[in-house]
Amino acid sequence: MNKVQDAVVDMYEQLPVPYGLVRFGVAPDHPEVKNCQDTFEEAAKSPRFNYIGNVSVGHDVELVKMKPHYDAILFSYGASEDKKLGIPGEELAGVYSAREFVGWYNGLPQFQHLAPELAVGNEAVVIGQGNVALDVARILLTPVDKLRHTDMTEQALQTLSQSKIDHVKVVGRRGPLQVAFSVKEVRELMQIDDVAFHTIPSLTSINPKTLPRIQKRITEVLQKGSKSQSQKTRRSWGLEFFKAPQSMHASDSTHLSSVTFTNQAFAPDADPLSTSASVVPTSEMTTMPASVAFRSVGYKSVAIPGLSELGVPFDTKLGIIPNDPYGRVMAPSAGPGSLTAGHIPGLYCAGWVKRGPTGVIASTMTDAFTSADAIVEDWETGVSFLNSRQGENASTGLGWDGVRSEVEGKGVRPLNWEDWKTIDAKEKGKGERIGKTREKFASVEEMLKALDR
C-alpha cells in the first residue's frame, strides 16, 4: 500500500481472528516471536486496508465471483494439513500429529477436542527433528508453573499439569549433523530446570571448529548438554538418530505402547558431515516404549475450492501453487506465442503455499514482501491483471463491496478490524483476571458471542 498510494487491500481470513500461524503455531513461551504482529497492526490502521474475518474463500465466497471485483488476488493461506507416516498402527490412540498438538495448546478451534492422553505412561516419542518437534518436547517437559503466565489455554494447562510424561525421545532418520532444528530451540531444551539430556557418544570425536557455522553451534550445544545430570533428576530427553518409523503397536488395548524403527546408515557415497547426506535402511530394528507419540515430519498445503476455475494448477506432490521466484502464479499453457508455461494475469502467491512449508516467520515475511513487490512492479509496468483497466471486461473496483451480499446471503457474519479488536480486548481481560497475558476464546461461536456481550 505504501508503494501504490491508491491501492486498496482486502484481507480474507476464515477465522474471526487474524495472525494465523503467529497466533496458533508459535509456542506460548516464545512471545518475542509474535512481535511481527506490530507490523501488521501498522498496516491495519490504514483506511485502505479491510480485514474480512470469519469468511472462508472458496466456501463462503467463490473465487470466480470475486474475480470481477479485483485487479489481483494473492494466495497466502499456508499449510493446513500435516504429512502422515503411512505405517501400521499410526491410527492408534495416543498417536498425534505435532500440528494438532500445537494447535490444541494454542487454542486453535478445530483442535480443542483433542484431549491428548498424557497420563497413561511416562514415555513419549517425537518423530522428526525440526523446530516443531523440539517445541513439542519442550512443552511436555517444561514445569506447568512456567507456562501459566503465557497465553496457553487453561484447558491445555490443566491437561499438562496431570501429565506423567518424564522421558521424551526425539527421533530422526539421519545423523546429528543433519538435524533441522535451530540452535535457539535446542539450547532452550537444555536449560529446562531438572530435565537432563542424554549425551550423544558419536559426537564426542567431532571437532566443532571443522564444521560450518550453524552445524558448529548446534554441535557445541549438544556436546555441552544440559545443566541437569540424568542420575540426579527424574525427567530427561534425548535425540535418537538413524531410525525410520516402521510400525506402532498396542500391548493389550487400542492404546499405543511402543514404536518400532528400521535402523538406518549413511549411504556408501554420503558425506556424514554434509547437511544433505542420504541414508539407507539396514536389516536391524529398534523398538522404543511409548505411551504417546507425535509425528512431526512436515506440513502440506492443499488446493482451495475454485482454483481450477481460474486456470490455476496445483502441485499436490509439493503442496504448492506453481509460481516463478517472485510469486507470480504460473500455468503450463499460459505462455504467449509458442511458449507453453507462463504467468496467469493478476494471480500471485506467498508463504508456504508458494514455496512449501519451510523457513521461519522472518523468512516468510521477507518472502511476502517479494511477492508484494512483484505486484507493484507489474502494475507500474502495465502488465495484464485479472481484468482489463477499461472497456467491457474492466474490473468493477468494488472489492469486498462486490461480494459482501453474496457472503451475508449465506448466513455468514463477516467481521472487520474493529470486531477483532473487541475480541482481542476481551481475551486480554479474561487473561488478566487469572494472571496471564490473554485467555483465548476456544471456539468460533465463543468469539462471535463475545461481540454481542
| Packed helices 98-105 and 154-161: angle between N→C axes, nearest 10 degrees | 110
Q: Binding residue per annotation — 359?
A: yes
Beta bridge partners of residue 262, listed in sequence order: 244, 285
Instruction: Tell me the C-alpha distance between 282 and 69, whole Å.
Output: 58
Q: Binding residue per annotation — 54?
A: no
Q: Binding residue per annotation — 129?
A: yes
Contacting residues for 42 by C-beta, under 8 A, at least 6 apart = none
Q: Binding residue per annotation — 174?
A: yes
Under the phi-then-psi rule, with left for phi > 0, alpha for psi from -120 to 50, and beta for the rest, what region is 112?
alpha
The DSSP symbol for 63 reads: H
Assess contact for 170 and 129: CB atoms under 8 A: yes
Q: Binding residue per annotation — 429?
A: no
Q: Binding residue per annotation — 132?
A: yes
Q: Phi and psi at residue 432, in whole multiples of 5°?
A: -60, -35
Q: Binding residue per annotation — 185?
A: yes
Identify the residue whose cell numbers are 559426537.
Answer: 203
- Among positive and negative, which fits the CA dihedral 443, 448, 450, 453? negative
Instruction: Tell me the C-alpha distance between 306 and 66, whole Å.
Output: 11
Q: Binding residue per annotation — 114?
A: no
- If you compute the radius of gyration of the chain from its CA atoms, what whole number of angstroms results? 24
Neighbours of 307 (CB within 10 A): 17
Q: Binding residue per annotation — 104?
A: no
Strand (E) or helix (H) holding 281: strand 279-289
SS3 for 124? strand
Assess contact for 259 and 251: CB atoms under 8 A: no
Contacting residues for 7 by C-beta, under 8 A, at least 6 apart = 1, 48
Q: Binding residue per annotation — 383?
A: no
The DSSP symbol for 1 reads: -
Instruction: Tell me the C-alpha distance between 151 and 126, whole Å.
Output: 24
For the record, the C-alpha cell of 394 comes out as: 474492466
CB half-sphere exposure, 231, CA atoms < 13 A:
0
Instruction: Tell me the C-alpha distance between 229 and 190, whole Å.
Output: 11
Instruction: Tell me the C-alpha distance between 122 and 290, whole Å.
Output: 8
Nearest one of 40, 63, 28, 36 to 307, comparing CA atoms? 63
Instruction: Tell me the C-alpha distance between 166 and 290, whole Å.
Output: 11
Instruction: Tell me the C-alpha distance between 135 and 185, whole Å.
Output: 8
E strand spans, 310-377: 328-331, 342-349
Provide the annotated binding site for FAD.
13, 21, 57, 352, 359-361
Provide the annotated binding site.
13, 21, 57, 129-132, 173-174, 185, 352, 359-361
Provide the annotated binding site for NADP(+).
129-132, 173-174, 185, 359
